[in-house]
């Protein structure tokens, strides 16, 4: 026995059992398959796959849907900047602007000036300037605290 999902020409959907698909074809050809709702003999099988009763036969399963094509494009680095990060960047910029505005620029004399302040030779004030990695290391070793001027990655030049 085989069950078909059928529709008539009026759009009524129904199911019916047949001895075989050949039996269905024969009956349908002779107008013997009729719609139980309106009696129309103009019926056709819907795209629904027929279900077999009894033992399953191989080869009746519909083919699996095609797998999505693998993407050939390699993913690139992406980033979403959160509002917090935006705010942090703004704060960094403000801090640097504040430092630049309120501190004395001492340029290459930074290590010297920093030492003078540290050892009480001059009054403490905010200064900024330049120090080589070597000089920075020495200052740290002497216990002189300073911080790199905050820079934003996209503002370096």
Q: Give the footprint of Zn ion on this chain (CB under 5 A).
A: 8, 10, 12, 35, 37-38, 40
Nearest residue to Zn ion, scored by beta-carbon proximity: 35
Please say whether the beta carbons of 50 and 4 come within 8 A.
yes
Nearest to 127 by CA among 150, 147, 152, 153: 147
Give the number of other Cβ atoms within 10 Å of residue 139's Cβ: 18
The number of residues making up the chain comes to 157
Provide, rounded to whole angstroms, the least separation between the CB of residue 27 and Zn ion: 16
* 127-129 and 2-8 strand pairing: unpaired
What is the number of alpha carbons within 13 Å of residue 39 lying toward its C-beta? 0
User: 72 φ, ψ to 5°?
Assistant: -90, -10
* Calpha distance 115→129 (Å, rounded): 13
Name the residue nearer to Zn ion (CB basis): 16 or 40. 40
Provide, rounded to whole angstroms, the least separation between the CB of residue 6 and Zn ion: 9
**Please, which residues have CB within 8 angstroms of residue 7's CB and are 6 or more apart in sequence?**
13, 14, 43, 44, 46
Name the residue nearer to Zn ion (CB basis): 14 or 146. 14
Name the residue nearer to Zn ion (CB basis): 38 or 49. 38
Name the residue nearer to Zn ion (CB basis): 10 or 51. 10
Name the residue nearer to Zn ion (CB basis): 37 or 100. 37
Provide, rounded to whole angstroms, the least separation between the CB of residue 33 and Zn ion: 11
């Amino acid at each position: 026995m085989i069950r078909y999902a059928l529709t008539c020409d009026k759009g009524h959907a129904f199911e019916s059992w047949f001895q075989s698909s050949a039996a269905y074809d024969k009956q349908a050809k002779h107008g013997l398959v009729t719609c139980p709702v309106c009696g129309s003999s103009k019926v056709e099988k819907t795209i629904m796959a027929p279900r077999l009763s009894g033992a399953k036969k191989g080869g009746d399963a519909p083919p699996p849907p095609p797998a999505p094509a693998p993407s050939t494009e390699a993913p690139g680095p992406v980033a979403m900047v959160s509002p917090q990060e935006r705010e942090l960047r703004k704060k960094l910029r403000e801090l640097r602007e504040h430092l630049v505005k309120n501190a004395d620029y001492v340029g290459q004399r930074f290590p010297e000036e920093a030492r003078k302040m540290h050892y009480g030779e001059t009054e403490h004030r905010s200064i900024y300037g330049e120090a080589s990695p070597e000089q920075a290391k020495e200052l740290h070793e002497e216990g002189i605290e300073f911080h790199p001027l905050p820079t934003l990655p996209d503002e370096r030049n």
